[in-house]
């Protein structure tokens, strides 16, 4: 299964397909996000930081991908969540 850090997940093309009703990409996107649905805010931040930091240390996550993740997820978040995500991305850079 893909993760939110996959390059494709953060691409504009993928996001446009996600917006289409009943698309495979939309179902896949929802499945990816559902991996995190039962976590509280602190657990989610810890999990995302841990995974992203591991990928970054292995050379499998770039600053551009982190920015893409930020812009991909931001439309689905409230203001507080956006700030948390932005802080997480900045910590990982």
Q: Return phi, psi of residue 54, to 5°.
A: -60, -45
What is the residue-averaged pLDDT of the chain? Answer: 83
pLDDT band at 39 (very low <50, low <70, confident <90, very high): confident
CA angle 88, 48, 45 (to 5 degrees): 60
pLDDT band at 1 (very low <50, low <70, confident <90, very high): low
pLDDT band at 62 (very low <50, low <70, confident <90, very high): confident
Closest CA to 33 of 67, 6, 63, 65: 6
Distance separating alpha carbons of residues 43 and 64, to the nearest angstrom: 24
Say if pTM beats, i.e. exceeds, 0.85: no
């Amino acid at each position: 299964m893909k993760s939110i850090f996959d390059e494709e997940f953060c691409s504009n093309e993928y996001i446009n397909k996600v917006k289409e009703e009943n698309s495979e990409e939309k179902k896949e996107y929802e499945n990816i996000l559902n991996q995190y649905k039962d976590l509280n805010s602190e657990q989610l931040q810890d999990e995302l930081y841990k995974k992203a930091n591991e990928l970054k240390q292995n050379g499998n996550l770039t600053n551009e991908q982190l920015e893409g993740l930020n812009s991909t997820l931001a439309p689905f978040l409230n203001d507080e969540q956006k700030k948390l995500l932005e802080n997480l991305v900045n910590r990982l850079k």
